[in-house]
Structure 1
Amino acid sequence: MENALKLEQVGEIARLTIDRPEKGNMLTLEMLDYLSSLIIDAGCDPDIKAISITSIGDDFCLGRDPDGAPEQAPKNGLEMREALTAPILGFYDAVRGADIPVVATVQGRAAGFGCAAAAVCDLTVAADDARFSLPEMKNNLPPTAAISAHIDRSMPKSVAWMVYSTDEIDAEMALAAGFVSQVVPASELYDRSNEVLGTITSRSRASLETCKTYLANARLMETPQASDYAANMLALVMSSK
């Protein structure tokens, strides 16, 4: 499993690489748990300011690997939730819960969980030939877990289109939907991603943590409370310098 998921610290960046191109970079549930633990650990490391998620091969990630399903079928809904959905939701929680920005770099296809993983990251840089899809309804499987990754990232009607039509959308449509941050020519993908990561790591960790916390919480507040929260957080950071 460790051969398929690689962690390398480069300066102040934790670089996580999915290296399973022969499987379209699909991840088993066990791999998802491991990937989440790497993100959690990197997010807690005071020497790390950004987390990068990339993959090797033609496609970013084609979703969950069905070959990694539990050997024994869950006996009830609670067991099914724990066995099948907990690792997926745990990944989303790890990304959202990391104190620092998580940046996805997407090439090729991102399907199912792969699409949701790209969406849930704080920043997503996509090649102009990238493609995104939520194909689960082809098998009458409601992709509620994947939708939960999009819920605070994407335009609701754009997600609904992907869910109900099961159509693949291109990178420009994903940008318009809100879950891709920037689209660049495929030949420039990694240069641009590295440039963004370099910009992030040039900032103080305290400022990065403050921005991520505010972006996550302010949207849940009424405007007056969000304004007060902004003033308090800014004052706290400035007074600590």
Structure 2
Amino acid sequence: MTDNTIANTIATTIQGSLVRISIARADRGNMLTICMIGALTEAIRGLPHDAKAVHLYGEGPDFCRGRDPQGGLTAATALEVRERLIEPILGLYDAISACPVPVIASVNGAARGLGAALAGACDVTIAARSARFSLPEMEKDLPPTLAISALMRRVPTKALTYLVLSLDEIDADTALGLGLVSLVAEGDAVRAADPLIATLCSRARPALVAVKDYLRVAPELSPRPARDLAANLLAGVLSSRGA
């Protein structure tokens, strides 16, 4: 893929305090090449300083049917595989986690493999009732450990293990029950995100950042540090208002 092609397949639009990022490769089910993964990561990391929310979605009928195996990068050794193929994917998951404001995914159609992990890694995931999720990597005897790493804080271990080993495709309601999805919407999932986006963009950015910070860090803490972090973040927001 050329730089121009990548720019055309990962499109960023700024609408006030909202940043919309679309995967525009509908003819390939929005499958992501490694270069596209890098562009998506850069888009998330390079938000304007006043951004309050990120909205991620796929153009066309599918959200993302996974990583494109014809992405153009090859690797011979384990070190090359790690550097060229694995680290970019982990970097994308890290960018979503480290993003200071909420990242909302809208899922229409298929979210397979990397697509399912990407959707689940976002802070809020809104799925159309027609959405379908799967982790099919074991069909080729490839352990989807990267996807598991992105989903293990969202989906209970037994359910995630079954999803990986069974190769089952699950519908939006099942994904909601597992915690992979936040909301199941009738109709188009992109438009269904509008009320939440409007709410987020009406809020003060420091409050949104504090919520994202706490939800990212607190689950890894023991109870006392988690309480201290909660108090410190709230105190910082209140003091910034002069309360």
By how many angstroms is 1:46 displaced?
1.8
- Superposition map of 1:6-85 within 5 A: 6-42=11-47, 45-70=48-73, 73-85=74-86
Aligned mates of 2:70, 2:225 — CA distance in 1: 47
Match of 2:87 in 1: 86
Q: How does 1:163-202 map to 2 (within 5 A)?
A: 163-187=164-188, 189-202=189-202
TM-score of the aligned structures, taking structure 1 as reference length: 0.95
What secondary structure sits across from 1:208 in the alignment? helix
User: By how many angstroms is 1:224 displaced?
Assistant: 2.0
Describe the SS at the equivalent of 1:25: coil
The amino acid that maps onto 1:23 is R
Map Cα deviations across residues 99-136 of structure 1 (whole Å, 9 max, x no partner): 00000000001000000000000000000110000000
Q: Structure 1 residues 69, 159: CA separation in 2 closer, same or farther (over 3 Å shift)? A: farther
Moved more, 205-214 or 152-161: 152-161
Any gaps of 5 or more consecutive residues in structure 1?
none
Per-residue CA deviation, residues 144-175 of structure 1 (Å, 9 max, x unaligned), is 01111102121111211110001000111111
Deviations 1:30-78 (A, max 9, x none): 0100110010001xx22211011011111110000111141xx423211
User: Number of aligned pairs?
Assistant: 236
Q: What letter matches 2:58 in structure 1? A: S
| Corresponding residue of 1:147 | 148
Q: Deviations over 1:175-195 (max 9, x none)?
A: 1111211001124x3332011
- In the aligned structure 2, how far is the partner of 1:195 from the partner of 1:133? 28
Secondary structure of residue in 1 paired with 2:70: helix
Shift of 1:29: 0.2
**3-state SS in 2 of match to 1:86:** helix
Please state how far the C-alpha of 1:227 moved relative to its aligned partner. Answer: 1.2
Number of the residue aligned with 2:235:
235
Give the deviation of 1:18 after TM superposition: 0.7
Instruction: Report matched runs for 1:204-223 at 5 Å.
Output: 204-223=204-223
Deviant stretches of 4+, over 6 Å: none
- Give the TM-score, by structure 2 length: 0.94
Distance 2:109 2:187 in 1: 9
| Residue identity (%) | 43
Q: Secondary structure at the match of 1:14?
A: strand
State the Cα RMSD in Å. Answer: 1.0
Deviations 1:74-94 (A, max 9, x none): 232111101111111111011
